[in-house]
Amino acid sequence: MEIDKTESRIPLHKLEKQILGVLREKDGLNFADIGAKAQIKVDQVRRAIEWLKTKGLVDEQRINESIIELLEAGKSASRNGLPERRLLNFLRERGGKAELTEISSKVLSSDETSAAIGISRTSKWIEVRKENGHAFVHLKGEPLATPEEELISTLSSPRRLATLTNKERMAYSSLAKRPGFILEVASKEVKIKLSKEGQSILIEEGSGINVTAPPPIIYSGRKHPLQIFMDEVKEIFVSLGFEEIVGPLVQSAFWNFDALFTPQDHPAREIQDTFYLRDSTIASPASPDLLDTVASVHQNGGATGSRGWGYKWNKDLTSRVVMRTHTTAVTVKYLADKTPEEARVFSVGRVFRNEKVTFKNLVEFHQIEGITVGSRVTLRDIMGLLSKFYERLGLKRVKFWPSFFPYTEPSLQSMVYNEKLSKWVELCGMGIFRPEVTRPLGVKNPVLAWGGGLERLVMLRYGLDDVRYLYENDLEWLRSVPLCP
Ligand code: PHE
């Protein structure tokens, strides 16, 4: 499956956009510089850089750097001047000449004095001469600001060594030789650079972000396609005047089979077709009266006019507990409970069959099922109803075919043409409930009944050719299923 290109589009926070805007003007800035340019707090810069990093839009470069800063003597020099400058100033105030002992006692400390004298002599700013056994210092010339003085004046806050000019570098190395003036500290500088990706999302012109870039696809939570379809099916039946009924997944064999006139030796009842709950029984699945009536209907037709199945009905088999094999168990229980003269009800639910799982069979699946009860209903009515239902689902080519179920007479099967597979697909079973089913329950009017698998319809809707796919939770597919096909 092709990966959607727009998936790489990255949503950006306002702060991130601001920072990208700054980096586009000047790449490779540190946090403080970015903060200053974007006018946001360094803390916020830091946070937004983290986001940008995880999105792969910027890279962090850690550079080992030397920072230079003033030590005590350096700080005092920046306030009062270097010792040599103070020496020269003093000499000038004294008319160009002073005794050495006076200098070292009044103006400078003895360390400062020897340094100041040494430097000033080699620079030829002074001369030291002996007069009457006393050493006198004579001023010969005063320099304008020296490189050392200039450097010190720029060091009110620490500077990166790398930013020093050549001249400053020389001043730095001479100052570094003098103890207590200057300190070099190793520091790690972090610089933020746009990554390739970062560069590419900034457009060439204009000052902003590429506003024409497609937005990211947001996968919000949504219902499973099967659930969406189930809701749609319910909607259709409700709109056709039906009411929903529900019943338990676990049933007695009585309601799943016997009440539906399914003979006790019917293959569907075999263990390989039906899931029985081990060691469970339901003591009285129905009233003793109903059990007796159903017994006689199975054996000889009872009062229904039928001849029944002609076997000895075994009451014990009715108490066995099964996972319902069809929703018809819900339908027939509804008829027994309500004995309606008229009704339109439907149910949608899970059913279980002990079958081999294949591309078209599951052991657990869903059925839709319904009945119409009324004095004047005919087989044509269900055909019309189901045609309508399929039409609402967009299935236009429908045909009906004779079929067989133990509980309906006549019985039909509906088929729908699958355009994609170019073949007819069986969908619902239907028919009119036999008197053997309705009479014992006390239902007098004809009951039109129909029911069938839901997954088959879902497969037609989404063009699937394997029913197992519906339960695979393939996220790619789940996300791509259109909400309005
Ligand atoms: N119960 C049948 C099945 O599971 C369908 C059906 C329902 C047939 C109602 C007739 C009447 O296939």
- Cα–Cα distance for residue pair 271/265, rounded to 1 Å: 11
Q: By CB neighbour count within 10 A (0-12 exposed, 13-18 middle, 19+ buried), where does 454 fall?
A: buried
170 and 236 fall within a common domain = no
State which ligand 1 atom lies nearest to the alpha carbon of 371: 9
38 assigned to some structural domain: yes
Contact present, 297 and 439 (Cβ < 8 Å): yes
Using most ligand atoms within 8 A of CB, pick from 261, 369, 373 the residue to mutate for ligand 1.
369
Ligand 1 atom at shortest distance from the alpha carbon of 428: 5
Edge-to-edge order in the sheet of strand 320-323? 250-252, 320-323, 276-281
Let me know whether 245 and 385 are in one domain: yes
Atom of ligand 1 nearest to the CA of 367: 4
Please check whether residue 64 lies inside any domain of the structure: no
pLDDT number for residue 206: 46
**Rounded to the nearest whole angstrom, what is the distance from the C-alpha of residue 301 to the centroid of ligand 1?**
22
Place of tokens 């006390």: 442
Residue 326 CB less than 6 A away from ligand 1: yes
347 C-beta closer than 6 A to ligand 1: no
Is the C-beta atom of 320 inside 6 A of ligand 1?
no
Pairing of strands 320-323, 250-252: antiparallel
Going by DSSP bridges, is the β-strand pair 276-281/320-323 parallel, antiparallel, or unpaired?
antiparallel
User: In angstroms, what is the span from residue 322 Cα to ligand 1's centroid?
Assistant: 17
Distance CA 475, CA 459 (A): 17
Minimal CA–CA distance to 168: which of 264, 425, 176, 22? 176
**H or E segment at 88?**
helix 83-93
136 located within any domain = yes
Residue 417 falls inside a structural domain: yes
State if residue 308 touches ligand 1 by the CB under 6 angstroms criterion: no
Which residues 6+ apart lie within 8 Å of 317 measured at CB? 253, 258, 264
312 and 355 belong to one structural domain: yes
What's the gap in Å between 293 CA and the centre of ligand 1? 23
Structurally, the chain folds into a number of domains equal to 3
Distances (CA, A) of 316 to 324, 406, 479: 18, 21, 50
Q: Which residues contact 460 (CB under 8 A, 6 or more apart)?
A: 393, 395, 416, 418, 425
Instruction: Dump the DSSP string for 302-342.
Output: GGGT-----S---HHHHTEEEE-SSTHHHHHHHHHHH--SS
Tell me what pLDDT residue 111 has: 87
Residues 118 and 33 in one domain: no
CATH number, domain of 148, equals: 1.10.10.10
Walk along the chain (485 residues) and give the pLDDT tens digit of each residue. Answer: 333 333 445 778 889 888 988 898 888 898 999 999 989 999 999 999 999 999 889 998 888 888 899 999 999 999 999 999 999 999 999 899 999 999 988 889 888 898 999 999 999 999 999 988 899 999 998 889 999 999 999 998 889 888 888 999 999 998 999 989 999 888 887 899 998 888 887 764 444 566 666 777 888 888 999 999 999 999 999 999 999 999 999 999 999 999 999 999 999 999 889 999 998 999 899 999 999 999 999 999 999 999 999 999 999 999 999 999 999 999 999 999 999 999 999 999 999 999 999 998 999 999 999 999 999 999 999 999 999 999 999 899 999 999 999 999 999 999 998 877 788 989 999 999 999 999 999 999 999 999 999 999 999 888 888 999 999 999 989 988 887 76
- The number of helices, as runs of H, and strands, as runs of E, in the chain is 19, 16
Give the pLDDT confidence score for residue 243 in this predicted structure.
98
Pair (77, 17) in one structural domain: no
pLDDT of residue 9: 59
Contacts of 195 (CB under 8 A, 6+ apart): 56, 57, 58, 59
Closest to 389 (Cα-Cα) out of 400, 378, 380, 398: 398
Token pair 């394997």: residue: 466
Q: What is the pTM of this model?
A: 0.60
Ligand 1 pocket residue status of 225, Cβ below 6 Å: no
Statement to judge: residues 43 and 117 lie in one domain: no
Model pLDDT, residue 210: 64
Omega of the bond leading into 143 within 30 degrees of 0 (cis): no
3-state secondary structure 175-215: HHHCCCCEEEEEEEEEEEEECHHHHHHCCCCCCCCCCCCCC
Whether residues 390 and 446 fall in one domain = yes
Question: 286 and 364 share a domain?
Answer: yes
Q: How high is the pLDDT of residue 189?
A: 79
Question: Looking at ligand 1, which atom is closest to the CA of residue 328?
Answer: 1
- CB burial of residue 339 (10 Å; 0-12, 13-18, 19+): middle
Check pocket membership of 454 for ligand 1, CB cut-off 6 A: no
Range of the domain at 13: 1-57+195-215
CATH code, domain with 52: 1.10.10
Instruction: Give the residue from 132, 167, 186 where a domain finishes.
Output: 186
The secondary element (H helix, E strand) that includes residue 295 is helix 288-300
Cα-to-centroid distance, 453 and ligand 1 (Å): 9
Q: Is 353 in the pocket of ligand 1 (CB under 6 A)?
A: no
With H, G, I as helix, E, B as strand and everything else as coil, classify residue 121: helix
Same domain, 24 and 108: no
| CA of 380 relative to ligand 1 center, distance in Å | 17
Long-range contacts of residues 463-471, Cβ cutoff 8 Å, at least 24 apart: 463/420, 465/359, 465/421, 466/359, 467/359, 467/360, 467/361, 467/362, 467/365, 468/357, 468/359, 468/362, 470/225, 470/226, 471/362
Residue 82 phi, psi dihedral angles, 5° rounding: -70, 155
Q: Is the CB of 49 under 6 A from ligand 1?
A: no
What 384-389 contacts at long range (C-beta under 8 Å, 24+ apart), as own/partner pairs, is: 385/240, 385/448, 385/450, 386/414, 386/428, 386/430, 386/450, 388/240, 389/236, 389/237, 389/240
Beta sheet of 159-160, edge-to-edge order: 159-160, 58-70, 182-194
| Distance from the alpha carbon of residue 460 to the mean position of ligand 1, in angstroms | 20
Is 414 a domain residue? yes
Establish if 62 belongs to a structural domain. Answer: no
Task: Tell me, using a 6 A CB cutoff, whether residue 349 lines ligand 1.
Answer: no
Ligand 1 centroid to residue 311 C-alpha, Å: 24
pLDDT number for residue 209? 63
Residues near 331 by beta carbon (within 8 Å), at least 6 away in sequence: 245, 345, 347, 369, 370, 371, 449, 451
Residues 32 and 160 in one domain: no
Ligand 1: atom nearest CA of 327 is 1
Please indicate whether residue 346, judged by its CB atom, sits closer than 6 Å to ligand 1: no
Q: How is residue 132 written in tokens?
A: 């009457």
In a domain, 65, yes or no: no
The residue contributing the CA closest to ligand 1 atom 10 is 430
Ligand 1 binding pocket includes 453 (Cβ within 6 Å): no
The pair of three-digit structure tokens given for residue 377, joined into one six-digit string: 């209903």
Mutate which of 405, 433, 434 to test ligand 1's pocket (most atoms within 8 Å of Cβ)? 405
63 assigned to some structural domain? no
Which residue lies with its CA nearest to atom 9 of ligand 1? 450
Residue 303's CATH number: 3.30.930.10
Eight-class DSSP state of 173: H
In single-letter form, the type of residue at position 379 comes to L
Q: Which atom of ligand 1 is nearest to the CA of 430?
A: 10
Query: Do 285 and 416 fall into the same domain?
Result: yes
Residue 3: predicted pLDDT: 38
- 103 and 205 together in one domain: no
